[in-house]
Structure 1
Amino acid sequence: MDWTSAQLRSLVELTRRGTITAVADALGYTPGGVSQQITALEKATGMRLLRRVGRRVELTDAGATLALHAERILTTEAEAVEALERTRNEISGTLRVGLFATAAAELLPPALRQVRESHPGVTVRSRDMDVDEVYDAVAGGTVDLALGLDYPDVPIPRDPSLRVMELSRERFSLAVPTGAMPGRADTSRTSRTSGASDTSGRAGPRKVSLADTRELGWILPSVRSYYGRAVLTACRRAGFEPQVAHEVTDTAATLALVEAGVGVSVVTDLMLRLRPSRLDVLELSETMERHIVVVFRSFAEHRPTVAALVDVLRTSTGRRPPRREHHGTDKLATR
C-alpha cells in the first residue's frame, strides 16, 4: 500500500499517547498536521482507522491492527538504515537527537564540535523536549537517541527495547536566598554570582540537612515529573513534607526565584551554569543524585552514526565505556 513513514509513525504515537494533541507535541507537528497524516493513511488503506468518542478519538479494530504492524515496519526501516550505514566507507548520515534544556545548553555544543572534527559526514538534528518524554521519543522512533535524566530514588521505567547508558552523575546541593540561613552561614559552599567560588577563607564547610528547610517555602516542578517525585521522596525520607510555594519546571526561572528570596530548591553544578545568580549553595548531608544518560534503541547499538555520537558524549563527559553492558540499562547505572 502507498503509505509513508510519517503516517505510520503518527498512528503508532497515537497508541502510545492517546490524543492528537499529545502526538503533535511528540512529533513536532500541529494537531491539524497529525490529523492530516491519519486521514491520508485511511485513504491509503481504504479503511477507517479512528473513531470519535465524545471529544476523544480511539483506534478502530483496523487501526489497532495496523498500528501493531506499523511498529514492526518502522523498526525494520530503522534496521535498514543501520545496515546501509555499515556499508559505507566512512561514518556518515543524519541523526535525530532529543535533549532537555540543560543538555542543550551545556552538553551538546561541545559534543557537536567534536563530531564535526572527527566525523564531518555526520549531520545532527537536535530537538528540545521535556526530559520525561525522551524515553518515549526514542522508543517510538521520533528521535534516534536522546540525552535524559534518571533518579535513583524514582528510576525511569526500563523498556527492554532501549539501551540506557550513564554518562555522568551529579550530586544535588541546596540553593537558598543569600543570607536566608544565617545560623549556617559558614555552611555556604559557594555564594555565587555566575558561579564564583567562595574565597572567604573559612574552615571546611559543615553540611545542612533537608530537614532544616521544613519551615521554608520550596520551588519545585510538579510531583507528576520524575524530578519532582525524586525531591519529594528525599524530603519525606528526611522526615518532612516540603511546602511548595512555587511550582516551576524551568531551571533558570527556579534560580531567579531563589535569588529573589521567595523559596529554596535543590540544584546541581550543571543547573547553576544555566543562569548567573546571586544565592547561597549549601552542601547537603543527604546523598541525592541525578544521572545524566544517553538513550537509544537496542538494535541501533552498532549503527555507526549512533555509536560515534555515543562515544563522543562519553568522552566529553569523562565516562569510559563499560566492560559489559546489558539490554535495558548500562552496567554503570547501578541503583
Structure 2
Amino acid sequence: MLDVRRMQMLAAVVDCGSVTAAAARLGYTPSAVSQQVAALEKETGTDLLERVGRGVRPTAAGLLLTRHAEAIAREVAEAETALADLLAGRTGRLSVRYFATAGAALVAPAVARLRAEHPGVQVELRLADPDPLPDVREGRADLALVVGPVEHDGVRLLHLLDDPYLAVLPKGHPLAARRMLRLTDLADEPWVGSEWPGPCLDAQLTACEAAGFRPRFVVDSEDYVTAQGFVAAGLGVSLIPRLGLGGRHPEVVVRPVRSPEPTRAIHAAVRETAPPQPALRAFVEALREAAAG
C-alpha cells in the first residue's frame, strides 16, 4: 500500500519544482523530503522525479501519483469540512417516532424550527408502533415520543409536558353549564372510551381510582374524533387530552377537570448510550419550545 504522506511530499516537490523549496513549505529539511521521496520510489519500483538543471520534474509515474495525491488532499479537506458540519449540528440525519396527537402539536413545529435553524439536517418521521422504545434502544430510531412514565433498559426519558384530560360533554348536558368539573361529577355518567389500552387509558383510570370510582364505559371508540361524535349523539361523556382536541365537534362542550386532574406525561425517549449528537440536541430543544408554547 502506498504511503499517502509520502505522496503528499512528492506532490509538494512537483508543485514547488525543487526539493529545497518543498522542504521550506512543509517545514522539513531537504534531506528528510529526499528520503521520503526515495522511499516512495522504492515502494513503487520506479523513478518518480528526474533532475532538470537545479530543479526536478516528475516522470510519468511521478505525475500520476501527484494527481492522485492532490485528489486525496481534496477529499480529506472535504471530509474535514463534512465532519465539522456534523459535529456542529449543521448536518446529520435523525429518525423520529411519534404518536398522532403529538405529531401536530409538538413534532411539526419542532421540525419546522430545526429546518429553519439547521437546514442540512434530515429528519425521518414515522408514526410509532405500539412500543417504539425497542427501536430507540437498538438504534433504529434516535428519538421517540411516548406517554409515561415507562421503564425500558437503555432508554432515557426527557419530560416535555403534562397533557391534561378535559371533560367532553353533549351541549345539552346538565353539567355543561359549569365552568369547571370535579372528576367525581362524572362518576355516575356513562362513559365513551377515547383511548386504547395502555399508558393513556391508565392515566384516566388512575385518576378515577384516586377519586374513588371506576368509570362505566358504554362505548369504546379508541379515537378522539369518533369519541366526540358519540358524545355529541348523547351516548355518554368522555375524557380527551388537550392535544387531542385540535378538531372540536360543534355539538360538544369541553370543561377542565379537577380533584384530581387526569394528566398524561409526554416524554422524548433517547438511547442512554448514544454518542453526543448536536442535531438531536437541537431537535430536543425545539420539542421543548413547542411544548412550552
In the superposition, the TM-score normalised over structure 1's length comes to: 0.57
Paired residue type of 1:314: R
Question: 1:217 is matched with which residue: 178, 186, 190?
Answer: 190
Question: 1:273 is matched with which residue: 222, 232, 246?
Answer: 246
Query: Structure 1 residues 162, 90: CA separation in 2 closer, same or farther (over 3 Å shift)?
Result: closer
Question: 1:227 is matched with which residue: 200, 203, 226?
Answer: 200
> What SS does structure 2 have at the residue aligned with 1:245?
strand
Question: 2:156 is matched with which residue: 163, 187, 192?
Answer: 163
Q: Say whether residues 1:302 and 2:293 are aligned partners.
A: no
How far is the alpha carbon of 1:88 from its aligned partner?
4.6
How far is the alpha carbon of 1:297 from its aligned partner?
0.4
> What SS does structure 1 have at the residue aligned with 2:146?
strand
How far is the alpha carbon of 1:276 from its aligned partner?
4.5
What do the CA deviations read for 1:283-322 (whole angstroms, capped 9, x no partner)? 2222221222111101236212211211111122228xxx
Query: Structure 1 residues 215, 99: CA separation in 2 closer, same or farther (over 3 Å shift)?
Result: same
Q: Which residue of 2 aligns with 1:314?
A: 288
For 1:274 and 1:138, the matched residues in 2 are separated by 31
Query: Structure 1 residues 105, 244: CA separation in 2 closer, same or farther (over 3 Å shift)?
Result: same
Query: Structure 1 residues 287, 161: CA separation in 2 closer, same or farther (over 3 Å shift)?
Result: same
Paired residue type of 1:103: A
Question: 2:177 is matched with which residue: 186, 190, 194?
Answer: 186
Q: Which residue of 1 aligns with 2:137?
A: 139
Q: Which residue of 2 aligns with 1:288?
A: 262
Q: Which residue of 2 aligns with 1:149?
A: 147
Q: Say whether residues 1:245 and 2:245 are aligned partners.
A: no
How far is the alpha carbon of 1:140 from its aligned partner?
3.3
For 1:165 and 1:230, the matched residues in 2 are separated by 18
How far is the alpha carbon of 1:267 from its aligned partner?
2.1
Q: Is the 8 A contact 1:86 1:303 kept in 2?
A: no
What do the CA deviations read for 1:72-99 (whole angstroms, capped 9, x no partner)? xxxxxxxxxxxx7886555312211100
Q: Is the 8 A contact 1:256 1:277 kept in 2?
A: no
For 2:275 and 2:172, the matched residues in 1 are separated by 50
For 1:148 and 1:133, the matched residues in 2 are separated by 8
For 1:288 and 1:301, the matched residues in 2 are separated by 36
Q: Is the 8 A contact 1:98 1:143 kept in 2?
A: yes
User: Aligned residues, how many?
Assistant: 210
Farther off after superposition, 133-142 or 108-117: 133-142
For 1:283 and 1:301, the matched residues in 2 are separated by 42
For 2:226 and 2:275, the matched residues in 1 are separated by 37
* RMSD, matched Cα: 2.4
Equivalent residues in 2 for 1:22-171 (5 A)?
Answer: 88=87, 90-130=89-129, 132-150=130-148, 155-156=149-150, 158-171=151-164
Paired residue type of 1:172: Y
How far is the alpha carbon of 1:254 from its aligned partner?
1.7
Q: Which residue of 2 aligns with 1:326?
A: none
Q: Is the 8 A contact 1:176 1:280 kept in 2?
A: yes
Paired residue type of 2:106: L
Which of the two has greater strand per residue?
A: 2
Paired residue type of 1:175: V
> What SS does structure 2 have at the residue aligned with 1:311?
helix
Q: Which residue of 2 aligns with 1:177?
A: 170
> What SS does structure 2 have at the residue aligned with 1:219?
strand
For 2:101 and 2:233, the matched residues in 1 are separated by 22
For 2:117 and 2:255, the matched residues in 1 are separated by 40
Which structure's CA Rg is the greater one?
A: 2
Q: Is the 8 A contact 1:176 1:258 kept in 2?
A: yes
For 2:126 and 2:201, the matched residues in 1 are separated by 23
How far is the alpha carbon of 1:222 from its aligned partner?
6.2
For 2:89 and 2:98, the matched residues in 1 are separated by 26
What do the CA deviations read for 1:143-190 (whole angstroms, capped 9, x no partner)? 21011222xxxx32x22411211111222221111122x2x3431xxx
How far is the alpha carbon of 1:134 from its aligned partner?
2.6
Paired residue type of 2:138: G
In the superposition, the TM-score normalised over structure 2's length comes to: 0.64
What do the CA deviations read for 1:89-145 (whole angstroms, capped 9, x no partner)? 553122111000101222211111111110011111111124x51323322333210
Q: Is the 8 A contact 1:255 1:277 kept in 2?
A: no
